[in-house]
Amino acid sequence: MICLLCAQSIPITYKFQDLFLFQTPEIQLCSSCHAQFEHISHSHCPRCFKSGSNGICMDCQNWESKGVIVSHHAFYCYNDAMKSYFSQYKFQGDYRLRKVFRNVFKKLPKNFVYVPIPVSIERLKERGFNQVTGFLSEIAYQEVLEKEETTQQSSLSRALRLKSENPFRIKKEAHLPQKICLIDDIYTTGATLNHAVKLLKDAGVSEVRTCSLCR
């Protein structure tokens, strides 16, 4: 068996049930690739999970000054290993890699409806899949949001540009649940997720939390 990330061969250790079902284990990463992923440290921002932050970080303070109280959970740091993972998964389109973190996504908060952040139709055509719904392939989720096609920002007038700041809209046929946990791949500035949170709250959803694989 070969590691999906570094192409080194991995010694096969079959579990009894794998042998019984004549299946090979699905996650094919070598232990050294696996060890390079870094969990968020114990000291992190309580609102956005920024690693190494003592107390509420600057990003979250900025959001608060705009009236947004961030309520986010992340699992891993966006380090070099994670960057190369995403480059292979998203940009080279290696769909097999969606399952590497499948156990992480089984630890999402309970009693929420999971809603993935959508990609635009353009991006979907180009990549062939939404990397976030790929992560959720073993748990139930609802696709409530859609993303507008990206227009060249510079070609829009200022008024239109302000209006188009929120790239998401709620699907026409969507039935909105009361408690939503929005799922994304990477939390960077928080702008993407917070746009979606605002949209859902304005539409009457009473509780919206957010989660991402990386921060």
Q: Which is nearer to Zn ion, 24 or 206 (CB)?
A: 24
Structure tokens at 11: 């010694």
Structure tokens at 106: 């089984």
Q: Which is nearer to Zn ion, 30 or 82 (CB)?
A: 30
Per CB under 5 A, which of residues 110..129 are in contact with Zn ion? none
Per CB under 5 A, which of residues 12..31 are in contact with Zn ion? 30
Write down the least CB distance from residue 44 to Zn ion, Å: 8
Residue 50, phi then psi, degrees to nearest 5: -60, 125
Residue 6 binds Zn ion, judged by CB under 5 A: yes
Write down the least CB distance from residue 177 to Zn ion, Å: 26
What single-letter amino acid sits at 87?
S
What single-letter amino acid sits at 81?
A
Q: Which is nearer to Zn ion, 30 or 97 (CB)?
A: 30
Task: Answer yes or no: are the C-beta atoms of 168 and 195 closer than 8 Å.
Answer: yes
Write down the least CB distance from residue 212 to Zn ion, Å: 13
Site string for Zn ion, 38-77 (x = CB under 5 A): -------x-xx-x------x--x-----------------
Task: Answer yes or no: are the C-beta atoms of 194 and 68 closer than 8 Å.
Answer: yes
Write down the least CB distance from residue 180 to Zn ion, Å: 20
Closest CA to 205 of 176, 184, 163, 170: 176
Give buried/exposed letters for 23-40 (b at 16+ CB in 10 A, else e): eeeeebbbeebeeebeeb
Size of the site for Zn ion (CB under 5 A): 11
Q: Is 155 exposed, middle or buried (0-12, 13-18, 19+ CB in 10 A)?
A: exposed
Q: Which is nearer to Zn ion, 85 or 168 (CB)?
A: 85
Task: Answer yes or no: are the C-beta atoms of 143 and 116 closer than 8 Å.
Answer: yes
Q: Which is nearer to Zn ion, 33 or 181 (CB)?
A: 33
Q: Which is nearer to Zn ion, 35 or 124 (CB)?
A: 35
Binding residues for Zn ion, per CB under 5 A?
3, 5-6, 30, 33, 45, 47-48, 50, 57, 60
